[in-house]
Amino acid sequence: MLPFRPAPSWLADAVLYQIYPQSFADANGDGIGDFAGIAAHLDHLAWLGVDTVWINPCFASPMRDAGYDVSDYLTVAPRYGTDDDLATLVERARRHGIRVLLDLVAGHTAVEHPWFRAAADDPSDHRYVWADADPLPSGFVASPGTRPGGYLPNYFDFQPALNFGHARPDPAEPWRQPVDAEGPRANRRALRAIMDHWLTRGVSGFRVDMASSLVKDDPGKKETARLWTELRGWLDEAHPDAVLLSEWGDPAVSVPAGFHGDFFLQFGGATDGGPLRSLWNTGTGTDRDEWDPAPCYFDATGKGSFAGFAAAYAEATEAIGEPGHIALPTSNHDFSRLACAPRDAAQLPAAYAFQLTWPTLPAIHYGDEIGMRYVPGLPDVEGSVLTPRYNRAGSRTPMQWDDGPGAGFSTAPPERFYLPLDPDPARPSVAVQRRDPGSLLHTVRALIRLRRATPDLGSRSAVRVHNDGYPLVYSRGEHHLVVVNPSDRTATAPLPDPAHARATRLIGEGVTVGPDGISVGPFGYAVLRH
C-alpha cells in the first residue's frame, strides 16, 4: 500500500514555468515586476502551453535575499500588489487553465520576522535554534536582542533557521532540541497554517525552499523526511488536489518523504547536482570552484557525456516509483540560463527537444523560451552575489517582451529597473519571436503541443536510450524516437530498429533517417513516429 494518496492527476501532464515576480512585468511603472504585470501576460503563458506557474517568494520581506527572507508569511510584499491582487491573479490564471504555485520558505525567516524579534528578547522562546552559550558554538550568529547567546542561521546570516529540532539531541548542548519539543512542534503547526492559508485562497501548491534543511544534524535526512511525511498526510486529507514540489535536488529521498515531485538541481544528491550540471553547465555563468570543469553534454564541442545524467535519472525514477515526479529545469533564479556563453540561442532547439520529450516535469525559467541569456557582470542586487564567480543576477534580468527601450518590461526610467536589461542590442524578445514562425519561441511552443498531443512523450511512458553519445537517440513508449545533436558537427548513429527507417518526422530539423542509419546535422533534432 502506498503511504500517500497518488499525486493529483494534473501533475503528470504539467509543464511548469517559473516566474521571478520582480523581473517579469511591471504594470505600475515603478521598475519592479508585480502581480498585475503577471496577470497581463497570462495570454503569453497560455499561448505557449504552460499550465503551472511557480512564483518565487512574494511575501512581506526586507528583500535582502530577494524575498527568501520572509517577515510575514500571510501577507504579500507590497511591491507586488495586495493580497487581493494575488487572488485576482490566481483566479485569472485559473481561467486561462493555469495553476499557481507559491514558494514556501520553510527553513528560515528574516531577522525582521516578529517571531524572531520576540525570540531575540525572550530566553524561553524556542522557535529558533538558540544557544545561550558563551562562547557561541561554531556557525552561530550573535544575538541582536537582549537575549544572550546567538542563533543558528540557515543560509545568509540574516536568515535564522526555524527550530525543527535536531535528529540527535544532546542535553549537554541544550539548543539541540528533540524534534517533538515545544518549539519544533509550534513550527510544524505554523507550516501547516501557512499552507492552509494560501491553499484556501486558490493556489495549487508550493515549491518548498531548502526542504531538506529543516531538522538539523539529520543523517540520511530521516527526521526531516518524517516531518514532510506528516505534512503530506495532512495535505492529502485537507487539500488533496494540491502539490508539494521540493527544492531538495534528490528525488530518491524527497519523494518517499512525501513530496509529489522534486527538481534535478545544480546541487543535491550523491554528486551534489552533477547530473543537471552535466547537461547544461557551461562553466561561464554561475560557477563554483568545486564543480567539474568537463564540458557538459549540451556543448557545441560534442565532448560531453549523457551517461551520468541517464544513470542518475534511471536510479531516481526507480527509487521513487509510480507516484512521484522529477522536474527538470532549463535553469532557475540561482543557476545560469540555457543561453549562457558559449552556448547561444541557435543551440537551444536541440536542448528543448530533449527536455520536452524526456519523461519529466519540464520546468521553463521565464525568458528561457526566447533564449534570454545569462547576463554577466551585473551588480549585487538583493543578495544575488554568492561568490565572485557566482552572481545569480545574470539569470534574473527583466523579461524581454518587445524590442522597445524598456523591452516592454516597464515604463520606468532604466535606472529604476530591478536589474538592468540585457544590454545586447540583439537581445531576443517575445514580440519579435511571435512574428517569426521559425523562432525558438515557436519551436518551444510546438514541442509543448506535441508533448501534450502524444502520451508517449509525456512523463509516464517508458524511455530507452539507444545512443548516449552524439547524437542522443532514445525511444519514448512504443512508437516514438527522439534524436538530438547538441554538437556543431554532423553526428551519426545506427538505427535502433530497421522499422525506424520508415519513421515519419513529427518535428525537427537537420535529421535524416534511412536504412543506413541516422544522420543529424549541427544542433539538429527530431521527434519521429514509427
Give the interface with ligand NOJ as residue ranges (CB under 6 A): 65, 68, 105, 155, 209-210, 247, 333-334
Q: Between 51 and 65, whose beta carbon lies closer to ligand NOJ?
A: 65
From the CB of 196, what's the least distance to ligand NOJ, in Å? 22
From the CB of 333, what's the least distance to ligand NOJ, in Å? 6
Terminal C-alpha separation, the chain = 37
From the CB of 195, what's the least distance to ligand NOJ, in Å? 17
Q: Go through the chain and tell me how many residues it has.
A: 530
Q: Cβ distance 475 to 489 under 8 Å?
A: no
103, interface contact from ligand NOJ, Ca ion, none, CB < 5-8 Å by kind = none
Q: Between 34 and 209, whose beta carbon lies closer to Ca ion?
A: 34
Site for Ca ion in 348-387 (CB under 5 A): none
Q: What whole-number distance in Å separates Cα of residue 482 and Cα of residue 221? A: 37
Q: Between 410 and 433, whose beta carbon lies closer to Ca ion?
A: 410
Q: Between 73 and 297, whose beta carbon lies closer to ligand NOJ?
A: 73
- In this structure, the strands spanning 130-131 and 72-76 are unpaired
210, interface contact from ligand NOJ, Ca ion, none, CB < 5-8 Å by kind = ligand NOJ
Q: What whole-number distance in Å separates Cα of residue 448 and Cα of residue 389? A: 34
Q: What whole-number distance in Å separates Cα of residue 260 and Cα of residue 245? A: 6
Q: What whole-number distance in Å separates Cα of residue 406 and Cα of residue 175? A: 51
From the CB of 273, what's the least distance to ligand NOJ, in Å? 13
From 269, 292, 437, 297, select the one nearest 358 (Cα to Cα). Answer: 297
The secondary structure element, H or E, covering residue 310 is helix 307-320
- State whether residue 296 is helix, strand or coil: coil
218, interface contact from ligand NOJ, Ca ion, none, CB < 5-8 Å by kind = none
Judged on CB neighbours under 10 Å (0-12, 13-18, 19+), 351 is buried
Q: What whole-number distance in Å separates Cα of residue 252 and Cα of residue 319? A: 5
Q: What residue is closest to ligand NOJ based on CB?
A: 68
From the CB of 29, what's the least distance to Ca ion, in Å? 7
In the beta sheet, which residues pair with residue 491? 520
From the CB of 34, what's the least distance to Ca ion, in Å? 4
Q: What whole-number distance in Å separates Cα of residue 131 and Cα of residue 115? A: 16
Q: Between 42 and 316, whose beta carbon lies closer to Ca ion?
A: 42
Q: Between 308 and 398, whose beta carbon lies closer to ligand NOJ?
A: 398
**Residue 261 carries which side chain, given as an amino acid letter?**
G
**Residue 88 carries which side chain, given as an amino acid letter?**
T
Among positions 30, 72, 85, 272, the unique one binding Ca ion when judged by CB under 5 A: 30
Among positions 7, 26, 365, 480, the unique one binding Ca ion when judged by CB under 5 A: 26
Torsion sign, CA atoms 265, 3, 220, 252 = negative
Q: Between 85 and 241, whose beta carbon lies closer to Ca ion?
A: 85
**Farthest CA pair distance, the chain:** 79
Size, binding site for Ca ion by CB under 5 A: 5
Q: Does 223 interact with Ca ion (rule: CB under 5 A)?
A: no
The number of angstroms, rounded, from the C-alpha of 141 to the middle of its chain's C-alpha atoms is: 29
From the CB of 209, what's the least distance to ligand NOJ, in Å? 5
CA distances from 190 to 68, 105, 107, 442 (A): 17, 12, 12, 44
Q: Does 32 interact with Ca ion (rule: CB under 5 A)?
A: yes
Q: Between 334 and 509, whose beta carbon lies closer to ligand NOJ?
A: 334
From 307, 278, 312, 311, select the one nearest 292 (Cα to Cα). Answer: 278
Q: What whole-number distance in Å separates Cα of residue 296 and Cα of residue 263? A: 19
Q: Between 30 and 488, whose beta carbon lies closer to Ca ion?
A: 30
Question: Which position has the grid cell 495535505?
Answer: 235
From the CB of 334, what's the least distance to ligand NOJ, in Å? 5
Q: Does 34 interact with Ca ion (rule: CB under 5 A)?
A: yes
Q: Does 334 interact with Ca ion (rule: CB under 5 A)?
A: no
68, interface contact from ligand NOJ, Ca ion, none, CB < 5-8 Å by kind = ligand NOJ
From the CB of 185, what's the least distance to ligand NOJ, in Å? 23
32, interface contact from ligand NOJ, Ca ion, none, CB < 5-8 Å by kind = Ca ion
Q: Does 411 interact with Ca ion (rule: CB under 5 A)?
A: no
Binding site for Ca ion (CB under 5 A): 26, 28, 30, 32, 34
